[in-house]
A and B are shown apart, each in its own frame.
Chain A
Amino acid sequence: MELLNAAIVLANFIVVPALSYGSQLALGALGVTLIYSVFRFADFAHGDTMSIATMMAIFVTWWLQAQGVGIAPLPIGLLAIPVAAVGTGILLLVIDRLVYRHYRRARAPLITFVIVSVGVMLMLNGLTRFIIGPGEQRFADGARFIISASEFKQLTGLREGLAIKTTQVITFATAWAFMAFLFWFLKFTRTGTAIRAFSDNEELALLSGISPKRVVTICWLLVALSATIAGTLYGLDKVYKPFNYFQLLLPIFAAAVVGGMGSPTGAVLGGYLIAFSEIAITYAYKRVAGYLLPESWQPEGLLQLLFTDYKFAVSFGILVVVLIFRPTGLIRGHPG
């Protein structure tokens, strides 16, 4: 019984949150890794791309709410994702046309792309702040819990409850649906194969008649879709605030690098790895110890390895370890 209670505590405070947060990071890292595999640069604007995509989803949500549309128990945000993804796709294509294409044609060095992406980041950031403001926006509606802690306790008779939020399940399901689609797309469609060929060897791909324009366009559209899903799910699950999205850039980069830049499987792996470590290392295990250890062994402290505010340090620590021991990432991406 004690063991079961301890397991429930762990599931409630570590496994469930980490699975949903990990899915969000994985989607974000997929976007970064896709951009990297086709364009060969780390996109600093990706956090703000997610932010502006979520902003669009919020506006669509508000509009639908005003029309009286509701799909309870699901949040309306889900309906808004396709519309926002189209908007984000158009935005990214316009940015590519106005900004990145020039440097692609000029065969500019990699770091030029990074700097230009900083410019795009600043502009997108300014745009979101200008339109929706820097404050917090909550736009989740529908049922809050699939099962709440008290319901769970009643159901099982255990002392600890396991709460599962609707948004957590939706996040997990949507993320995996998108990932299944993406992997299928990359593996089994002609366009997907073209993207992989382009990513492996650009010149050879061009030689065999793959249209670079098409690859670029499809890639940006996939990035838009993943960024919109990741951003909207994060906003539904937690809260929308432009600055938080900018800060997401760091764990997302860490996930992509840890997994192996340019490898989609690696990005998913890295996303979950970062999320689990972040939450597991900053969690206070006192309550778990309460169930597992005999009375006289009870520790005085919280049994917390790191304060929650140090979650960036976890991303950073993993990043450093990987950079030292395996710079190509867990799954060998492009060594660059």
Chain B
Amino acid sequence: MSKRESLYFVACIGLIFIVGLMQSWNVALALVNFGLVSAILALGVNIQWGYGGLFNAGIMGFVAVGGLAVVVTSAPPVITAWEAGAARIFLALAVAITTIAGAVLLWRYLNKGWLRTVAIVFWLLSGTFLFRWLFDPAVGAIETIDAARTGFLGGLGMPVLFAWPLGGLLAAVLALAIGKVALGLRSDYLAIATLAIAEVIVAVLKNEEWLTRGVKNISGLPRPVPYEINLQQAEWFQKIALITGLDLAEASSIAVKLCYTALLLVVLFVVFVLCERSLNAPWGRMMRSIRDNERAAAAMGKDVNGRQLQIFILGSAVCGIAGAILTTLDGQFTPASYQPLRFTFLIWVMVIVGGSGNNWGAVLGGLLIWFFWIQAEPMGYMAIEFLTSQMDFESPLRAHLVESAAHTRFLMMGLFLLLVMRFRPTGLIPER
């Protein structure tokens, strides 16, 4: 890293310190934690875009799948619901998979002609009916069990940390499916297809209540770190709080956040080192050569489609891990909170502004853009207060402007993206 590039990081830390001093250390630490998750996410997207030149407009979908992994691993199992319909649900899912696989096989091994079309249509229709016949009653049975509190299968009740790799795995499987279809076509078709799959996934998470409770949300997911209330009751912690001079509630909240920070730093470090090593290995050079000139790379005997699929899966897996971490941090799973502007396009701003193709850039972009995303509201509010200070206090225009201050964040993000693309297309920390 050059001197200027390290200055960016220093500036970033400085900004967070200012928030700590002016607002509160709790807010500052929350900024750090979510900034670190954003950095992991940005690293994942950077693998796809920076190394491979793939435009993934469905990051939200992979993040949401990571969130689902947390539910599946760590939510306490609902035994009665399992007894009521789990077997039937899994059977139905097996039928669904067999139907699709069978259709693919029919397509491959029958000779072309109307007979094949009829056979496939008949196969698909009967598969659908069998699926619905198995699936619908089971879903009904599960969702009626104590609907106000559970009404879903629950998870495996395992420690939440297991969910992080599982989130990556689920996202990787999803990426394999979508990559098989959309890779190898024009580059903006991948963007459109991923944009669509993300919406579908979020729709599934919102509506399949037997799996996720849908919009009723799942709260109280277990944590990998201690709870504030336990810390407050522990004697050793009360002593520490006394020494720092903070009140007990704030001290415990800060301590919990610090535990998360430590965990996140470990994950970020591991992902970062792996990214950096692979980028500088022959594999990374090959990927970049494919990105810069597909035909030349193909002429050198590189399997362009296979490599792109590989990189799409790897990047998506990192996004899945980050998604699981996000849900863990929140402690609850809220499918309705997955919005493409926040979970897809904001991450794109991070990668582009930070510097595509450079892992340091991705980390910087994650931290910096997250800071502005959160602080845009108070900043916009201050700016509008200042601009309208000469106006009549009761004026409706002023009231409207003050009320709209929160929306300045979208304007700001768009402006960042456009300015960087125009005047510094390589980003703050360019690729080496």
Which residues does A use to contact B, with CB under 8 Å?
A: 41-42, 44, 99, 102, 110-112, 114-116, 118-127, 129-131, 133-134, 246-247, 249-250, 253-254, 257, 301, 305, 307, 309-310, 312-313, 315-316, 319-320, 323-324, 327, 336
Contact = CB atoms under 8 A, between A and B. Distances in A.
A125 B404 contact: no
Interface stretch (B183-191, B220-228, B299-307): B183-191
A142 to B, nearest CB: 28
Given A111-B188, A130-B408, A134-B407, A320 B203 contact: no
A50 to B, nearest CB: 16
A313 B203 contact: yes
Given A111-B53, A115-B348, A125 B207 contact: no
Given A122-B345, A320-B193, A41 B421 contact: no
Given A122-B410, A130-B404, A316 B199 contact: yes
B431 interface: no
A126 B192 contact: no
Interface stretch (B40-48, B72-80, B411-419): B411-419
B153 interface: no
Given A126-B408, A246-B340, A257-B192, A119 B417 contact: yes
Nearest to B196: A316
Majority SS at the chain A contact face: helix
A62 B418 CA distance: 33
A327 B189 contact: yes
7 contacts: A115-B352, A127-B411, A133-B403, A253-B196, A254-B196, A316-B199, A319-B193
The listed residue with most B CB atoms (<10 A of its CB), out of A111, A121, A122, A250, is A122
Contacts of A116: 417-418, 421
Interface of B: 53, 55, 57, 128, 132, 136, 181-182, 185-189, 191-193, 195-197, 199-200, 203-204, 206-207, 340-341, 345, 348-349, 352, 403-404, 407-415, 417-418, 421-422, 425
A115 B421 contact: yes
A107 to B, nearest CB: 14
Nearest to B128: A305
A257 B192 CA distance: 9
A247 B344 CA distance: 13
A327 B55 CA distance: 18
A150 to B, nearest CB: 33
B121 to A, nearest CB: 13
B376 to A, nearest CB: 10
B195 A309 contact: no
B206 A309 contact: yes
B192 A122 contact: no
A47 B17 CA distance: 39
Contacts of B415: 119, 123
Contact of B411 (A111, A123, A310, A315): A123
A125 B182 contact: no
B417 A309 contact: no
Given A111-B53, A309-B203, A323-B182, A130 B417 contact: no
Contacts, number: 131
Contacts of A309: 203, 206-207
Given A111-B188, A122-B345, A313-B203, 5 more contacts: A116-B418, A127-B411, A312-B203, A316-B199, A323-B193
Contacts of B408: 126, 130
Contacts of B189: 257, 323, 327
A42 B194 CA distance: 14
B414 A119 contact: yes
B373 to A, nearest CB: 11
Contacts of A316: 193, 196-197, 199-200
B418 A114 contact: no
Contact of A126 (B136, B193, B407, B425): B407
The listed residue with most A CB atoms (<10 A of its CB), out of B181, B403, B409, B411, is B411
A111 B404 contact: no
B196 A126 contact: no
Contacts of B413: 122, 126
B195 A118 contact: no
A254 B425 CA distance: 30
Given A116-B418, A122-B417, A247 B199 contact: yes
A125 B195 contact: no
A320 B349 CA distance: 27
Contacts of A324: 181
Contacts of B182: 323
A315 B195 CA distance: 11
The 9 closest A-B pairs by CB, nearest first: A126-B410, A122-B414, A123-B414, A126-B411, A119-B417, A129-B407, A316-B196, A119-B418, A42-B188
A131 B349 CA distance: 23
A278 B415 CA distance: 35
A121 B411 contact: no
A305 B421 CA distance: 44
Given A111-B53, A121-B345, A250 B196 contact: yes
Nearest to B351: A115
A257 B185 CA distance: 12
Nearest to B420: A119
A249 B207 CA distance: 22
A137 to B, nearest CB: 14
A112 B407 contact: no
Given A122-B414, A127-B411, A336 B200 contact: no
A130 B191 contact: no
B55 A114 contact: yes
Nearest to A98: B418
Contact of A111 (B187, B192, B195, B199): B187
Nearest to A257: B192
A119 B353 CA distance: 11
A114 B54 CA distance: 12
A111 B192 CA distance: 12
A254 B182 CA distance: 13
A102 B341 contact: no
B207 A111 contact: no
Nearest to A127: B411
A302 B236 CA distance: 61
B417 A42 contact: no
B196 A319 contact: yes
The listed residue with most A CB atoms (<10 A of its CB), out of B207, B349, B418, B425, is B418
Given A310-B203, A312-B196, A313-B203, A125 B410 contact: yes
A259 to B, nearest CB: 13
Contacts of A120: 414, 418
A168 B185 CA distance: 37
Contacts of B181: 320, 323-324
A98 to B, nearest CB: 8
